[in-house]
Structure 1
Amino acid sequence: MFLVKNAYFYAMKHMQAVLFDLDGTLIDSEHFYYSNWKPILQKNFGLKIDFEDWLTFFAGHTLVRNVHFLREKWGIETTDEFMWKETRAAYARADMRTIGLMPHAKEILEDLQQAGKRIALVTSSYQTTVDTVLGHHGLLGFFEFFITRERVEQPKPDPEPYALAIKSMALPADEIVAIEDTSTGLKAAQGAGLSCIAVSRQQVERERLSAAECMVDNLAAVREILL
Structure 2
Amino acid sequence: MKHIEGVLFDLDGTLIDSEHFYFSSWQPILAANFDLTITFEDWLTLFAGHTLVRNIHFLKQNWGIETTEEFMWKETRAAYARADMRTISLMPFAKEILENLRAAGQRIGLVTSSYQTTVDTVLGHHGLLDFFEFFVTREKVVHAKPNPEPYLLAIEKMEIPAEKLVAVEDTATGLRAAQDAGLRSIAASRFAAERAKLQTATYVVESLVDVDKILL
TM-score, normalised to structure 1, is: 0.94
DSSP 3-state at the match of 1:88: helix
Q: Deviations over 1:90-119 (max 9, x none)?
A: 000000000000000000000000000000
| Aligned match for 1:46, one of 17, 25, 35 | 35
Deviation for aligned residue 1:18: 0.1
Q: 1:107 maps to what in 2? A: 96
DSSP 3-state at the match of 2:168: strand
The one-letter code of the counterpart of 1:137 is H
Deviation for aligned residue 1:56: 0.9
Asked if 2 retains the 8 angstrom alpha-carbon contact of 1:29 and 1:99, the reply is yes
Q: 1:154 maps to what in 2? A: 143
Deviation for aligned residue 1:201: 1.2
1:221 aligns with 2:210: yes
| Aligned match for 2:64, one of 56, 75, 87 | 75
Q: Deviations over 1:176-197 (max 9, x none)?
A: 0000000000000000000010
| Aligned match for 2:126, one of 131, 137, 141 | 137
The one-letter code of the counterpart of 2:147 is D
Asked if 2 retains the 8 angstrom alpha-carbon contact of 1:27 and 1:99, the reply is yes
Higher-RCO chain (CA-CA 8 Å, sequence separation at least 6): 1
The one-letter code of the counterpart of 1:51 is F
The one-letter code of the counterpart of 1:159 is P
Asked if 2 retains the 8 angstrom alpha-carbon contact of 1:201 and 1:217, the reply is yes
Q: Deviations over 1:171-227 (max 9, x none)?
A: 110100000000000000000000010000112211211111110000011000000
Asked if 2 retains the 8 angstrom alpha-carbon contact of 1:18 and 1:120, the reply is yes
DSSP 3-state at the match of 2:185: strand
DSSP 3-state at the match of 1:193: coil
DSSP 3-state at the match of 1:190: helix
Q: Residues of 2 paired with 1:96 and 1:131: CA distance?
A: 10
- Give the aligned length: 216
Q: 2:117 maps to what in 1? A: 128
The one-letter code of the counterpart of 1:68 is H
State, as a whole percentage, how many aligned pairs show the same letter: 71
Asked if 2 retains the 8 angstrom alpha-carbon contact of 1:55 and 1:204, the reply is no
Note the aligned Cα RMSD (angstroms).
Answer: 0.6
| Aligned match for 1:36, one of 13, 25, 30 | 25
The one-letter code of the counterpart of 1:97 is R
Q: Residues of 1 paired with 2:184 and 2:152: CA distance?
A: 13
The one-letter code of the counterpart of 1:139 is L
Q: 1:210 maps to what in 2? A: 199
Q: Residues of 1 paired with 2:118 and 2:164: CA distance?
A: 28
TM-score, normalised to structure 2, is: 0.99
Q: Residues of 2 paired with 1:211 and 1:22: CA distance?
A: 20
Q: 2:165 maps to what in 1? A: 176
Runs of 4+ that moved beyond 2 A = none
